[in-house]
């Protein structure tokens, strides 16, 4: 039996407004206590307000991206130090939407993870294959390559990251990986983490991609699935609460 505490993270993506956030966060707070650790990753402009709303609770918050650079002439970027100042516990890095729409490669993702950790912000490192890669039998090779870049960059700190397996074909599509499909990949990732860090058994590996209240329990009860990264279903308090309780 593992001692890993389950972690459920809402990824709001580019959704929200001040009134909508206030209502959503009030709902999430009202749903406590949770057996799992719960966090929300919000758009950067809402971090200060989110921090003020959640500070007195055990619900944590984080960002959806972080700059690989420490500071300087990088217009539009947000540094890990800034996230730390806003009290961020987590920063998602390498989400497939950033890999696809912002051309983020394995090396940049690894540098972002390192920048976050250097300021005490835990990176949630996303890996996952496209449908074409799965159909070509490349799933294992792709996720191992993506994770390996981060492991090598973080060296002795690699055990401090959280990993999220998010098959690209399951994100926002309503088409989720079966618990068995997800578990198979999680087991591969855990073995890789164990071999590289010696701490694979205590590291958390989340599943993401069309997690809903009605499939969360089956996914989260797999031996190597330690919680979820939740997109669409994190935007409605009732749905997110149900997943946090799953």
Told to check if 211 binds ligand PGA by CB under 6 A, we report yes
Kindly tell me which of 11 and 153 has the beta carbon lying closer to ligand PGA: 11
Q: In whole angstroms, give the CA distance from residue 129 to residue 36.
A: 27
Q: Taking the complex as a whole, how short is the minimal distance between the CB of residue 72 and ligand PGA, in angstroms?
A: 29
Q: Taking the complex as a whole, how short is the minimal distance between the CB of residue 10 and ligand PGA, in angstroms?
A: 9
User: Which tokens belong to 188?
Assistant: 């591969």
Among 7, 8, 205, 229, binds ligand PGA (CB under 6 A): 229
Q: Taking the complex as a whole, how short is the minimal distance between the CB of residue 198 and ligand PGA, in angstroms?
A: 29
With contacts defined by CB under 6 A, how many residues of the chain interact with ligand PGA?
Answer: 13
For 54, 82, 83, 87, the CA distances from 48, given in Å and listed in that order, are 10, 11, 10, 8
Q: In whole angstroms, give the CA distance from residue 151 to residue 66.
A: 18
The stretch near ligand PGA (CB under 6 A) out of 55-63, 74-82, 147-155, 204-212 is: 204-212
Q: Which of 97, 104, 133, 166 is catalytic?
A: 166
Decide if 166 is catalytic: yes
Among 139, 231, 239, 243, binds ligand PGA (CB under 6 A): 231
Q: Taking the complex as a whole, how short is the minimal distance between the CB of residue 56 and ligand PGA, in angstroms?
A: 27
> Phi/psi at 177 (nearest 5 deg)?
-65, 145
Peptide bond preceding 33: is omega within 30 degrees of 0, i.e. cis? Answer: yes
Q: Which residues have a Cβ under 8 Å from the Cβ of 47 and sit 6 or more positions away?
A: 61, 63, 83, 86, 87, 88
- Of residues 117 through 176, those in contact with ligand PGA by CB under 6 A are 166, 171-172
- Exposed / middle / buried, residue 169 (Cβ in 10 Å: 0-12, 13-18, 19+): buried
Closest by CA position to 125, among listed 89, 156, 174, 166? 166
> What angle separates helix 18-30 from helix 47-54, to the nearest 10 degrees?
30
Kindly tell me which of 230 and 241 has the beta carbon lying closer to ligand PGA: 230
Decide if 95 is catalytic: yes
Kindly tell me which of 114 and 210 has the beta carbon lying closer to ligand PGA: 210
Among 147, 232, 240, 241, binds ligand PGA (CB under 6 A): 232
For 132, 160, 166, 225, 244, the CA distances from 229, given in Å and listed in that order, are 22, 17, 8, 11, 11
Kindly tell me which of 167 and 196 has the beta carbon lying closer to ligand PGA: 167
Interface positions with ligand PGA (CB under 6 A): 11, 166, 171-172, 208-211, 229-233
Residues classed as catalytic: 95, 166
């Amino acid at each position: 039996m593992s001692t890993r505490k389950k972690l459920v993270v809402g990824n709001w993506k580019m959704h929200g407004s001040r009134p909508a956030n206030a209502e959503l966060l009030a709902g999430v707070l009202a749903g406590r206590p949770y057996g799992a650790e719960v966090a929300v990753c919000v758009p950067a402009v809402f971090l200060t307000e989110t921090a003020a709303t959640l500070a007195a609770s055990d619900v944590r918050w984080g960002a959806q991206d972080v700059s690989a650079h420490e500071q300087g002439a990088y217009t539009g970027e947000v540094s890990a130090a800034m996230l730390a100042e806003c009290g961020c516990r987590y920063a998602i890095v390498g989400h497939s939407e950033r890999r696809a729409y912002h051309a983020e490669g394995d090396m940049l993702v690894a540098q972002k993870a390192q920048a976050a950790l250097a300021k005490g912000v835990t990176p949630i490192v996303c890996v996952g294959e496209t449908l074409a890669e799965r159909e070509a039998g490349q799933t294992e090779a792709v996720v191992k390559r993506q994770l390996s870049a981060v492991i090598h960059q973080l060296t002795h700190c690699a055990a401090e990251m959280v990993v999220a397996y998010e098959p690209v074909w399951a994100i926002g599509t309503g088409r989720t990986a079966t618990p068995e499909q997800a578990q198979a990949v999680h087991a591969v990732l855990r073995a890789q983490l164990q071999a590289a860090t010696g701490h694979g058994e205590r590291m958390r590996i989340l599943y993401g991609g069309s997690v809903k209240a009605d499939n969360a329990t089956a996914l989260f009860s797999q031996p190597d699935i330690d919680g979820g990264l939740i997109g669409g279903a994190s935007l409605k308090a009732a749905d997110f609460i149900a997943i946090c309780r799953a």
